[in-house]
Chains A and B, each alone.
Chain A
Amino acid sequence: MYAVTVLTLLLLFAILALSLNLITGVAGQVTLGHAAFFGVGAYTLAYLTTEAGVGFGPALAASVLAAGVVGLALGAVSLRLREDFLAIATIGVNFVAVAAFLYLPYFGGAFGISDIPRPAGPLGFFGLVLLAFAFTAWLHERVRASDLGLALLALRESEAAAAALGVDVRRFKVTAFALGCALAGLAGGLYASYIRVIHPEDFGFPLSVTLLAMVAVGGMGTLWGPIAGAVLLGGFAQAFAFVQNYQLFLYGLLLALTMRYRPQGLLGRRP
């Protein structure tokens, strides 16, 4: 069961990393607020299943929808901002989301929401998460291989070139945001039901940083890169529990060393 527990979390991280990769790796939009959408999904499911008495299935669908809609809005906003400004504006989005979880009624305030129902035992739930992961990976590949995906990849190389090819740059950016955020909402709904207790700070800026690091360390724009990043960084604390006192230090160092000596990420191809 220990292995199942650890794997469940790693798969959730992998879903998050792939969803972020659609936005950052494929469409080239750097966002440092992805945890907010994870949180929107988690809070939606938590509220619906505890307070409103909605079943797990519809609640999870609502999580995906809610995060997707907010993502769509952010996508529209992102069109106005160039790279570095966007990165910082998304930090802002994360802080605003955490503040909303903390201050809006219904969300349990500082106490968070606890006793969130889980529809299956650990093994059954792991199967569910595996399914969600498979779906995410499939969608990720569909998007990458489709006309849309190729356009998005082109967009990453050069917006002007993409526009010249007749690609609607704006539509693609917004689509990437909406899809990526909806998938983050899926992970959030599953997470809330899995861990059964959520607090506003669980979806804060540090998690966004971790997610972006997973994508970058693994290798942006690829399929296996973000997954490898999620396993490596998400499993770091478990794998390196024996160096207890130096865990966080080594984690930080790993990020710096990877970017310094292998900037394309572990599985990324040299540009």
Chain B
Amino acid sequence: MRQVFMALAVLLGVALAQAPVKVGVLAPLSGFAAADGRSALTGIELAVEEINAQGGLLGRPVELVVYDDQADPKQAVNFARRLVELDKVAFVIGASYSGASLAAAPVVNEAGIPFIAAYAVAPDITRDKPYVFRMGLLGTVQGRVGAELAHELGAKRVAILTIQNDFGRALEAGFRERAQVLGLEIVYRDTYPLGNKNFTPILARLRAARPEVLYASAYFSEAANLVRQVRSLGMEVRVIGQEGYDSPKFIELAGDAAEGVLITTTLDRDSTDPAVQRFLEAYRERAGIPADMVGASGYAAMQVMALAAQRAGGLDGEALREALAQLEEVETVVGHVFYWTEDGDPVKTATVQEVREGRFRRFMKFDRIEVLKP
């Protein structure tokens, strides 16, 4: 036993003696997006701890260089430049929203350094940028999964409520495209602004259209109010949400009204993969609340980058990019990635989770590749 410890200590000593691998992180840690920034960073930190505990990346410890971009494109550009030039990071994890990621990605791309957007959904982030990859499910793809789910539930009459930003718009586009193929009738559609709290007037209108299913894009704080107000108006409509709802805070804030809500997402709480269960436990221990999709995506993005670095056998930007592009059949805590497209978007499985007794539980797996392809 003692020898084992000694050997470990020596190995660890070797790893720590090496110059650390610097990894850049851009996340909104203050301002309106601070909750998501905090979750994503927690996930990334967990992944780094695990990597370092196992002897580091290519034998070197990983060190994070984190900047708070406040989800502001102006700050994101400045900090991206800083990561690339002053901090000389090996790669960058974009843990911010679409606007900031769209501004930061070209800077990192031009420097020939790989960038992975953990959960931002705007399609343009990866387009025409060979060094830029994505971890999250594209909004349009997820919208299609939502329509498949509505169809699965046997619904014919569907209402769509869309959050007025790129996330909501991409989801709606995917949903409508697939709904047409599946013959779903869209009986009502409307949009609402980010941060909206009062849905009662819209719901009053919506009720008159008598939909069986309401496909509503939202982040968890809006979603909680939406389902509460659906409940207090005594409506019978089934709510389908997506990864924006994917937070333990949704269930806490919505209370009983969350029961029976279905969401399309990528973090499967009932996964039999021990790595997922290990992650869920480690996250809860560290953050004090259960994991959400954003945190899991940060964790997965860091792991995928580390995996690519191992395959490449080094941290050279070009080699890393090639290794990333060639990754196939990767199991992550946010789904099984079949491969990354030429644009750098993942083709990966989704899951449908249902809120039952105050927890997200698996409702069904979704792995039909013809629907999941961008």
A adjacent to B, CB under 8 Å: yes
Binding site for B on A (CB under 8 A): 1-2, 5-6, 9, 102, 109-112, 114-115, 195-199, 201-202, 237-238, 241, 244-245, 247-249
Q: In the bound complex, do residue B103 and residue A196 qualify as a contact, i.e. CB atoms below 8 Å apart?
A: yes
CB within 8 Å for A195 and B164 given contacts A114-B124, A247-B30: no
Known: A9-B74, A248-B31. A110 touches B164 (CB 8 A): yes
The 10 closest A-B pairs by CB, nearest first: A248-B30, A5-B81, A2-B85, A197-B102, A110-B165, A199-B99, A2-B81, A114-B124, A111-B166, A110-B169
Closest-CB distance, A59 to chain B (whole angstroms): 20
Contacts of A1 in B (CB 8 A): 81, 85
B188 at the interface (CB under 8 A from A): no
**Are A109 and B74 in contact, with the CB atoms below 8 A?**
no
Stretch at the interface among B9-17, B62-70, B143-151, B268-276: B62-70
Range of interface residues on B (Cβ < 8 Å): 20 to 34
Cα distance A197–B77 when bound, in Å? 11
Partner of A5, one of B72, B77, B102, B168: B77
Contact partner of A247 (CB less than 8 A), chosen from B68, B77, B78, is: B68
Are A110 and B78 closer than 8 Å at their CB atoms? Answer: no
CB within 8 Å for A195 and B78 given contacts A112-B99, A115-B124, A244-B66: no
Taking A195-B74, A247-B30 as contacts, is the C-beta distance between A111 and B122 under 8 angstroms?
yes
Main secondary structure of the interface of B (DSSP, over half): helix
- List chain B positions with a Cβ less than 8 A from chain A: 29-31, 66-68, 70, 72-75, 77-79, 81-82, 85-86, 99, 102-103, 106, 122, 124, 164-166, 168-169
Interchain CB contact under 8 A, A248 and B70: yes
Question: Closest B-chain residue to A244, C-beta based?
Answer: B68
Chain B contacts for A2, CB-based, 8 A: 81-82, 85-86
List the B side residues contacting A201 at CB < 8 Å: 99
A residues within 8 A CB of B30? Answer: 245, 247-249
Q: Can you list 24 contacts pairing A with B, beta carbon distance less than 8 Å?
A: A1-B81, A1-B85, A2-B81, A2-B82, A5-B77, A110-B168, A111-B124, A195-B73, A195-B77, A195-B103, A196-B106, A197-B73, A199-B73, A199-B99, A202-B72, A202-B73, A202-B74, A237-B70, A241-B82, A244-B29, A244-B66, A244-B67, A247-B30, A249-B30
B372 CB → nearest A CB, Å: 22
A253–B264 alpha-carbon span in the complex (Å): 42
Per the bound structure, the CA–CA distance linking A111 and B31 in Å amounts to 21
With both chains docked as a complex, state the minimum distance between the C-beta of B85 and any C-beta of chain A, in angstroms. Answer: 4
Roughly how many angstroms separate A102 CA and B164 CA in the complex, as a whole number? 9
Minimum CB–CB distance for B140 against chain A, Å: 12
Contact B169 A111 (CB under 8 A): yes
Quote the shortest CB–CB distance from A94 to chain B (angstroms): 15
**Cα A110 to Cα B98 with chains together (Å):** 11
Contacts of A110 in B (CB 8 A): 164-166, 168-169
CB neighbours of B86 from chain A (8 A): 2
Cβ of A194 to closest chain B Cβ, rounded Å: 8
How many whole Å from A236's CB to the nearest CB in chain B? 10
Which residues in A have their C-beta under 8 angstroms from that of B164?
Answer: 102, 110
Closest beta carbon of chain A to B92's beta carbon, Å: 14
Q: Cβ of B169 and Cβ of A238 under 8 Å apart?
A: no
Chain A residues in 8 Å Cβ range of B124 = 111, 114-115, 197
Complex CA–CA separation, A249 to B77 (angstroms): 22
Q: Give the distance in Å from the alpha carbon of A41 to the alpha carbon of B72 in the complex.
A: 19
